[in-house]
Structure 1
Amino acid sequence: MMKWMLPVAAALALGLTGCSVYREATSPMPSTNVRWQRVATSADRDRMRDWRKAWDEALPLARKADARAVAAEPLLFDPDRALPDAALPQGNYRCRTFKLGGRGTAMRDFTAYPWFDCRVADEGEVKSLHKITGSQRPTGLIFPDEATRQVFLGTLVLGDETAPLRYGLDADRDMIGYVERIAAKRWRLVFPKPRFESVLDVVELVPTP
């Protein structure tokens, strides 16, 4: 169950030290029966509001870096591709990440990563999404929004960490993105202006047979 990921900001007590900080950061938290706008930080609401600007900045850079790779995935890299019934069904998925528009001297303007394992679980009023493998593992909750879009709020788990920080505790770990269905059994999770490496991340999700 992933309901513990989302914060009630007032519950964060200042001045905690040592192990108590870790327990506070990863302790169970209720309340998923709210709209995502009431849970998201102001910085993340701004990122979601500017999703189109992120595409407009990132896509030309990606095309310039690797036009053939971008052209090979016309549905995945079409900002306006969004079909009804966006909700991700519960189950296991193959996922792969594309980073568009490099940020920092070490990143290219188009980077494609190999497939990895993801899981979507039913948490009642929302669903949870976890990347299971890899050194950078987004994990969080998916909130209903529109017929063609749902909203992901979560945090980034790094390395050998065994539990995610609570959303809202560390702005550098906070993640916001949106889920769209782009084909019969094909979805994408788009992260506009992630904190590191890229202008836009696109994660493709395909159910595991």
Structure 2
Amino acid sequence: MRFAALAVLTSLAVFPVLAGETALDWRSQATPHDLDRLERYEDAVTKGMMESRVAGEEHGTYNELVSVMEEETVAADPEELKGQWNCRTIKAGGPFAGFVVYGWFRCEIVEKNGRLFFEKLSGSQRQSGYLYPR
């Protein structure tokens, strides 16, 4: 099985599936709140990294976040993304949980309705949604 750290905020956006929605433009499915958050993306990353450094150094996990965030972002080949993966979520600061490096979970990317679809296969929160290029 392949390993990947899917950094949703850095390369792909996952939005919940809307029943019957066929629009290919993610903006038509994003809420005004999400659009506002994405407008402030760079500021949020900077603030999150600062918050994470303080919290992560206390717990020894900050280097995991840095290793993901410092990688060069490149365009992904949709065909190479398809398949089963081991994924993880890293939350970098914020008002609710602060800095958290979550454990690995199984996930899969398949083609659905001619588009890439992400689904979390294990763990307590089973997110799923279409992937959009950023």
The TM-score with structure 1 as length reference comes to 0.48
Question: What is the RMSD of the two structures over their aligned residues, measured on CA atoms?
Answer: 2.4
- Structure 1: 5+ residue runs without aligned partners? 7-27, 150-209
Residue 40 (structure 1) aligns with: 30
- Structure 2: 5+ residue runs without aligned partners? 1-15
C-alpha distance in 2, partners of 1:86/1:55?
A: 25
| Larger RCO, structure (CA 8 Å, separation 6 or more) | 2
Count of residue correspondences: 116
Displacement of 1:84 after TM fit?
Answer: 2.6
Residue 109 (structure 2) aligns with: 120
When Rg is computed on C-alpha atoms for both structures, the one with the higher figure is 1
The TM-score with structure 2 as length reference comes to 0.71
C-alpha distance in 1, partners of 2:17/2:119?
A: 12
Displacement of 1:75 after TM fit?
Answer: 3.5
Amino acid at match of 1:132: L
Over 4 Å off, 4+ runs: none
- Aligned counterpart for 1:96 among listed residues 85, 88, 99: 88
Instruction: Using the aligned pairs only, state the percent identity.
Output: 25
Residue 133 in 1 paired to residue 122 in 2?
Answer: yes
Displacement of 1:102 after TM fit?
Answer: 4.5
Alignment of 1:27-176 (within 5 A): 28-32=19-23, 34-67=24-57, 68-78=60-70, 81-85=72-76, 87=78, 89-104=81-96, 107=97, 109-143=98-132, 145=133, 149=134
Higher helix share: 2
Higher strand share: 1
Give the secondary structure class of the aligned counterpart of 1:137.
coil
